[in-house]
Amino acid sequence: MPRGDLFPDIAPFETGLLPLSSGHVMYWEQVGNPRGQPALFLHGGPGAGAGAVHRRFFDPHHWRVIIFDQRGAGRSRPLGELRDNTTPDLVSDIEVLRRFLGIDNWLLFGGSWGSTLALAYAQAHPERVQGCVLRGVFLGRDSEVEWFLHGLRRIFPDAWANFAEHLPPAERSDLLGNFMRRLSDPDPFVHLPAARAWSQYEGSCSTLMPSPETVASFSQDRTALGLARIEAHYFVHKLFLPVGGLLAHMGRIAHIPAEIVQGRYDMVCPPETAFELAAAWPKARLTIVPDAGHSALEPGVRTALVGAVERFRRR
């Protein structure tokens, strides 16, 4: 897939491992301009981890981009660890990283679960947020989780069948509970096939047109295990969000500017949620990409995201 609308590949100018609570260790990196405007990239999932392509949404001459892998995800250790892995833990980790790097405030950039975490962090620490660029909005409500587990069957019956049929028929009435049981099993012969089934399902539904490249990236063992195990864990616990959910606390960040980018045919996180968020956020600008699904790397979405970041740069 050509990605000429993204900035060129770039290597980090600094990387590190930061000890956290309960034995977790965070991988982090910085790219771009060491004296530039700080921006924090928040990956999806939860549990998906970040990749090199995520550095390319930002002009490296202007931005000091901080990217990290959340607890249990990507290059953070231990992979797939669920102990003390909650949304408040991740919000706390972001503050640990901010203080460690000596940053006063930053732009938040997050898609899918990354949008959820960006909102949770901004509502907890609004004084640390310059603005938000959000994509494929997910608010973690029961209806959104139910859509992912069951509603997608209406649009992707083949992908859903492959997902559900990983379980024996007697267990399909509780997809989440029975996948969680397998994903948390210590035996790789149990948890890895379950992780691949979960992750391939998500990857298959993430693009407007079929993308074997996307499905293959979701199928890699490390990606699949982190994504599936941690995502199921968060779903079981209602995403560890506050009473009333994120929309109930939008008053805390009403003054913060935001850019929301949403694919019209996003089936993983349908556009209804982005519309509701924009309606509750006076300073938000909503851009609907007419020919895109969920993935940040679909042509229209990545162009819109780069444009959104550039508008913050010009501010």
Do you find a cis peptide bond into 46, omega within 30 degrees of 0?
yes
Question: Cα-flanking dihedrals φ and ψ of residue 191, to 5°?
Answer: -80, -30
> What is the rounded CA–CA span in Å between residue 185 and residue 153?
27
Of the candidates 88, 3, 85, 103, which has an alpha carbon nearest to the alpha carbon of residue 51?
3
Out of 69, 206, 294, 295, the active site residue is 294
Instruction: Identify the three-state secondary structure at position 262.
Output: strand
Residue 166 neighbours by CB under 8 Å, 6+ apart: 179, 193, 194, 197, 198
Q: Which amino acid is at 232?
A: A
The answer to whether residue 112 is catalytic is yes
Three-state SS for 17?
strand
Q: Strands 129-135 and 106-111, how do they pair? A: parallel
Return the SS3 of 25: strand
Task: For residue 126, count other CB atoms closer than 10 A to its CB.
Answer: 14
CA pair distance 75, 27, nearest whole angstrom: 6
The 3-state DSSP class for residue 284 equals strand
- Residues in the chain, how many? 315
Q: Rounded distance, CA 294 to CA 76, Å?
A: 25
* 191 is a catalytic site residue: no
Quick check: is 54 catalytic? Answer: no
Number of helices (H), then strands (E), belonging to the chain: the values are 10, 8
The one catalytic residue among 43, 206, 266, 295: 266
Q: Residue 281 is inside which H or E element, if any? A: none
Tell me how far the alpha carbon of residue 157 is from its chain's centroid: 24
Instruction: Give me the catalytic one of 76, 112, 199, 211.
Output: 112
Instruction: Give me the active site residues, please.
Output: 112, 266, 294
